[in-house]
Amino acid sequence: MRPGNHGSMGEQYAEEFEPTSADRIARNDAMFREANERIAAAADEYGVEGRVPFICECAEPTCRAIVRLTLEEYREVRRNPRHFMNAIGHHVAARGWAEVIAQSDSYVVVRKLGRAGDVAAELAEREDRK
Amino acid sequence: MDERVRRIAANEAVARQVNERLEDLNEAFSAFTDSFAIICECGDVGCIEQIHLSRADYSRLRSDPTHFAVIPGHEIPDTEHVVERRQAYDVVRKREGLAARLAEATDPN
């Protein structure tokens, strides 16, 4: 992975959008994250080697793109609750509420900004407490 | 041989897990149309092909934990055999013994 500035729109731009948009985007992302957590748990339990198929975590609710990451790469994304994995080019669905912070040949890592980041972190914390 | 069967079963089980989560997301976002895309459930973890099928066909597929949907030609004959040929995919059944037991043991439903 290497740092990237692809599609970076910054906090100021993000704050121009309505908070309801940020909430909705963060909640959508959280559902994809939860789905991927179950996939990762299964892959871990079954001892799958190599790249595992995960579901793109972009903010477009109808997106069903498949992105393959190793479990190590996936866990690296999950280390920060504001970070999500997107298929390349899909970060634009966040409408400025995310910026690309790293990119590989098959996916990008985005950081949620402003209210979207706060909600994403809150929802991750709630999941961890379950 | 057993190790190979386990590896294939693990790959297929993860593909099934992905497809179950895709179905969950479709329900959560009310995004179901007549058909939706799942990933090929063959034993090759590197396979990236997708299969379009109806919700009813998917539910029917999942009603038997030893059944998986694969792109034609992706079946692995010594662990599974084709029981149904559809237009865009084949349904395979895991052979009795370790392959079938693992498929049942990893069924998320």
Q: What is the mean pLDDT of residues A39-60?
A: 93
Question: Which of B36, B64, B107, B81 lies closest to A46, judged by CA?
Answer: B107
Q: Do B21 and A53 touch (CB under 8 A)?
A: no
B73 touches chain A (CB under 8 A): no
* Residue that is written with structure tokens 């009813």 in the block: B56
Task: Give the total residue count for chain A.
Answer: 130
Cα angle A49, B96, B75 (rounded to 5 degrees) comes to 55
Which has more confidence, B36 or B103? B103
Model pLDDT, residue A12:
38
Of A31, A47, A53, which has the smallest distance from its Cβ to B15's Cβ? A53
**B109 pLDDT tier (thresholds 50, 70, 90):** confident
DSSP, res B75: -
CB A116 within 8 A of CB A97: yes
In the predicted structure, residue A7 carries a pLDDT above the cut 70: no
Q: Do A31 and B50 touch (CB under 8 A)?
A: no
Give the minimum alpha-carbon distance from A48 to chain B in angstroms, rounded to a whole number: 6
CB A108 within 8 A of CB A88: yes
The mean pLDDT value of chain A amounts to 83
Q: What is the mean pLDDT of residues B38-58?
A: 91
What's the pLDDT tens digit per position in A77-117?
999 999 999 999 999 888 888 899 999 999 999 999 988 88
Selected for mutation to probe chain A from B2, B14, B22, B47 (highest A CB count within 10 Å) is: B14
pTM of this structure: 0.83
DSSP, res B48: -
Give the Å distances, CA to CA, from A127 to A59, A81, B73, B109. Answer: 19, 11, 41, 22
Of B16-20, B21-25, B31-35, B70-74, the range with the lowest mean pLDDT is B31-35
**A20 pLDDT tier (thresholds 50, 70, 90):** low
Question: Residue A109 forms beta bridges with which residues?
Answer: A85, A102
Q: What is the mean pLDDT of residues A32-40?
A: 94
Give the minimum alpha-carbon distance from B8 to chain A in angstroms, rounded to a whole number: 9
Of B14, B29, B39, which has the smallest distance from its Cβ to A42's Cβ? B14
Cα angle A85, A111, B30 (rounded to 5 degrees) comes to 55
In the predicted structure, residue A13 carries a pLDDT above the cut 90: no
Per-residue tokens: B71: 């792109």
In the predicted structure, residue A56 carries a pLDDT above the cut 60: yes
Per-residue tokens: B3: 């190790």
Model pLDDT, residue B33:
65
In the predicted structure, residue A3 carries a pLDDT above the cut 80: no
Dihedral pair phi/psi, residue A104, rounded to 5°:
-115, -170
Dihedral pair phi/psi, residue B86, rounded to 5°:
-100, 180
Provide the domain count of chain A: 1
Domain range for A14: 2-129
How many Cβ atoms are within 10 Å of B1's Cβ, its own excluded? 8
Per-residue tokens: A34: 């939860």
| 3-state DSSP assignment of residue A64 | coil
Sheet holding B90-94, edge to edge: B67-70, B90-94, B80-85
What percent of chain A stands above pLDDT 70? 84
Model pLDDT, residue A6:
40
Per-residue tokens: A40: 């990762």
Model pLDDT, residue A95:
82
Task: Give the total residue count for chain B.
Answer: 109
